């Protein structure tokens, strides 16, 4: 079977962000656009000839067409085998698990995570390396350099592959294995958690609701939660993956997963609620009329980790992204293990896990995970919570209150201002930095500024340096405000403001987070001049 060398010209906008390349579907549908980026990935790599590549995505619009292009290009470029999910589907955590289980050279994941989908929605592509994790900056930088000078790409002249049936086929000399997207992942989960204890919990009348948001996690949750753990049919809702995610915004937070929130805060609410996002790597956990922040979730999982069989020997260490609250730091201190503070982006956890420095890791953006793979993992977190509830025989709220009584509560919230004009957003950040010198030592109400900086990180494993990772305003009592521009959107800019204050007094632990942080919120708005500079009087999303 022959292949073609296609003449092309570079695109100027193919610099990968923290989670690969994300653009509107219409951008990816331009002639040569996807192929250019895929060829740039291959051109940046060495030693993959004859090796195995994993391919799959979250099923959003353009997933099928993109998968076929990648298969034909992988064959033309010399890969020996591709493992591809049935119908082109693989959740991001499952893709990482498959890469690791089969010792693949790497993988290409098609997803724009929690961004909306459909013909007018978003699409994304990223490369994961052989450890199953996102490509580090040295590789994404190399990919970007290739995009700027690419003039040809290779593609096999062949018909599309039938991805609807599990089994083997060929494109030229390359073998294609269409695999069940759920099987390997489900087996991994069963090795980590006490499924028998969770089954007994559910049989005893424990009720749960999992909202898959018409995204990729639906088949995984149906198989594991309903079929293997015995939850009644319908416990997993919005379970069918749709190319437009049912017209919703597949971001598991209090705003976009409002149906689940209404269920858990309504009459006859179930005992437990959870949601996952577009590609299955994020999670939200709720009890009956009780919300668990992702920062608290990481801390509670760490404090109770040995209750799960996969973690019964304890934790090597813990890592969290800088904007994530310091709640887990207190757990690490009590356990006598290290806690690492990294920039935002899961790739920064990979080196620590590969060096056996950490077992659990998490980000405040509804992502938690462990060394079982090299991605955050939404359903894994849900199963971990169910394991803890089954062992402790306490409600979600009781577990949280007990945790706060032991460690104190880190009141925490994130205010997102989405779709802000990029120039205005950059000017706001510059304004805060320009005032560093003038606000140090200043008193704002009950808070005194002790320091302020733009967070930088030196990787303790490879000594790589990452700068400009978020503006921090630190106060003398340990409270802080963090400002960041998000790199996960496709239009405008998202300004994220993170607010954190520690409270040891148990009598105050039941306060609403926004009430507990009210004064810090006012200070953040004052320091940033956000309404004046963006015209926004309220955040788009509060979590």
HEC string of 230-278 equals CCCCCCEECCCCCCCHHHCCCCCCCCCCHHHHHHHCCCCCCCEEEEECC
Looking up residue 227, the CATH number of its domain turns out to be 3.40.120.10
- Is 359 in the same domain as 431? no
pTM, entire model: 0.93
By residue count, the chain amounts to 543
- Containing domain of residue 375, as a range? 185-407
- Is 153 in the same domain as 273? no
Identify the domain boundary among 358, 390, 407: 407
How far is it, in rounded angstroms, from Cα 350 to Cα 340? 12
- Is 424 in the same domain as 359? no
Catalytic machinery residues:
113
- Is 485 in the same domain as 467? yes
Place of tokens 């509804």: 366
293: CB partners within 8 A, 6+ apart:
325, 364, 412, 413, 513, 543
Q: Is the separation of the CB atoms in 217 and 225 below 8 Å?
A: no
- Is 174 in the same domain as 211? no
Helix (H, G, I), strand (E, B) or coil at 482: strand
Number of structural domains found in the chain = 3
How far is it, in rounded angstroms, from Cα 124 to Cα 86? 19
Q: Is the separation of the CB atoms in 221 and 210 below 8 Å?
A: yes
125: CB partners within 8 A, 6+ apart:
20, 21, 28, 34, 37, 38, 66, 108, 109, 110, 111
In 144-220, DSSP assigns E strands to 152-156, 167-171, 174-179, 208-211
- Is 96 in the same domain as 214? no
How far is it, in rounded angstroms, from Cα 387 to Cα 367? 18
Identify the domain boundary among 159, 180, 201: 180
Looking up residue 454, the CATH number of its domain turns out to be 3.30.310.50
**Predicted pLDDT at 541:** 87
Q: Read off the tokens for 391.
A: 């062992």
**Predicted pLDDT at 19:** 79
Identify the domain boundary among 162, 180, 198: 180
Number of continuous H segments (helices) and E segments (strands) in the chain: 19, 27
**Predicted pLDDT at 134:** 93
- Is 191 in the same domain as 165? no
Scanning 14-116, the segments in alpha helix (DSSP H) are: 25-28, 33-43, 63-77, 92-101
**Predicted pLDDT at 488:** 54
Q: Is the separation of the CB atoms in 189 and 182 below 8 Å?
A: no
Q: Read off the tokens for 195.
A: 């499924």
Q: Is the separation of the CB atoms in 441 and 448 below 8 Å?
A: yes
- Is 463 in the same domain as 398? no
- Is 124 in the same domain as 214? no
Q: What is the chain's pLDDT, residue by residue, as a tens digit (543 residues)?
A: 788 999 999 999 999 987 799 999 999 999 999 999 999 999 999 999 999 999 999 999 999 999 999 999 999 999 999 999 999 999 999 999 999 999 999 999 999 988 999 999 999 999 999 999 999 888 999 999 999 999 999 999 999 999 999 999 999 999 999 999 999 999 999 999 999 999 999 999 999 999 999 999 999 999 999 999 999 999 999 999 999 999 999 999 898 999 999 999 999 999 999 999 999 999 999 999 999 999 999 999 999 999 999 999 999 999 999 999 999 999 999 999 999 999 988 888 999 999 999 999 999 989 999 999 999 999 999 999 999 999 999 999 999 999 999 999 999 999 999 999 999 999 999 999 999 989 999 999 999 999 999 999 999 998 988 899 999 999 999 999 999 998 555 568 999 999 999 999 999 999 999 999 999 999 999 999 999 999 999 999 898
Q: Is the separation of the CB atoms in 421 and 536 below 8 Å?
A: no
């Amino acid at each position: 079977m022959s292949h073609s060398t296609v003449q092309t010209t570079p695109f100027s906008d193919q610099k990968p962000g923290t989670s690969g390349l994300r653009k509107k579907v219409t951008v990816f549908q331009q002639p040569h656009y996807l192929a250019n980026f895929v060829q740039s990935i291959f051109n940046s790599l060495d030693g993959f000839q004859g090796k195995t590549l994993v391919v799959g995505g979250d099923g959003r619009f353009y997933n099928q067409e993109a998968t076929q292009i990648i298969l034909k290009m992988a064959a033309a470029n010399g890969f020996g085998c591709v493992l591809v999910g049935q119908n082109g589907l693989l959740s991001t955590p499952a893709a990482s698990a498959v890469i690791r289980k089969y010792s693949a050279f790497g993988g290409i994941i098609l997803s724009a995570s929690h961004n909306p989908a459909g013909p007018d929605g978003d699409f994304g592509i990223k490369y994961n390396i052989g450890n199953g994790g996102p490509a580090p900056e040295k590789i994404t930088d190399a990919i970007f350099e290739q995009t700027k000078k690419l003039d040809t790409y290779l593609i096999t002249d062949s018909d599309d592959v039938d991805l609807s049936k599990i089994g083997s086929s060929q494109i030229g000399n390359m073998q294609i294995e269409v695999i069940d997207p759920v099987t390997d992942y489900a087996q991994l989960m069963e090795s980590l958690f006490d499924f028998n204890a969770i089954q007994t919990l559910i049989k005893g009348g424990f009720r749960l609701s999992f909202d898959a948001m018409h995204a990729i996690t639906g088949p995984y949750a149906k198989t594991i939660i309903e079929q293997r753990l015995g939850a009644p049919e319908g416990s997993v809702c919005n379970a069918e993956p749709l190319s437009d995610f049912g017209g919703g915004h597949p971001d598991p937070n209090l705003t976009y997963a409002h149906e689940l929130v209404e269920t858990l805060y309504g009459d006859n609410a179930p005992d437990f609620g959870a949601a996952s996002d577009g590609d299955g790597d994020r999670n939200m956990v709720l009890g009956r009329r009780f919300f668990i922040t992702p920062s608290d979730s990481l801390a509670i999982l760490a404090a109770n980790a040995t209750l799960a069989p996969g973690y019964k020997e304890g934790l090597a260490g813990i890592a969290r992204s800088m904007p994530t609250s310091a709640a887990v730091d207190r757990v690490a201190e009590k356990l006598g293990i290290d806690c690492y503070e990294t920039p935002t982006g899961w790739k920064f956890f990979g080196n620590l896990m590969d060096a056996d420095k950490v077992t659990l890791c998490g980000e405040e953006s509804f992502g938690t995970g462990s060394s079982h793979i090299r991605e955050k993992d939404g359903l894994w977190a849900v199963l971990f919570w169910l394991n803890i509830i089954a062992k402790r025989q306490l409600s979600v709220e009781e577990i949280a209150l007990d945790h706060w009584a032991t460690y104190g509560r880190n009141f925490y919230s994130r205010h997102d201002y989405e779709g802000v004009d990029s120039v205005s957003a950059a000017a706001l950040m510059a304004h805060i930095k320009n005032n560093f010198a003038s606000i140090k030592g200043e008193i704002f109400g009950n808070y005194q500024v002790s320091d302020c900086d733009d967070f930088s990180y030196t990787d303790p494993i490879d000594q790589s340096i990452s700068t400009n990772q978020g503006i921090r305003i630190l106060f003398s009592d340990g409270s802080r405000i963090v400002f960041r521009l998000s790199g996960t959107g496709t239009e405008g800019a998202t300004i994220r403001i993170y607010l954190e204050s520690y409270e040891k007094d148990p009598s105050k632990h039941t306060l609403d987070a926004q009430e507990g942080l009210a004064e810090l919120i006012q200070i953040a708005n004052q320091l940033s001049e956000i309404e004046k500079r963006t015209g926004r009087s309220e955040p788009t999303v509060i979590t």
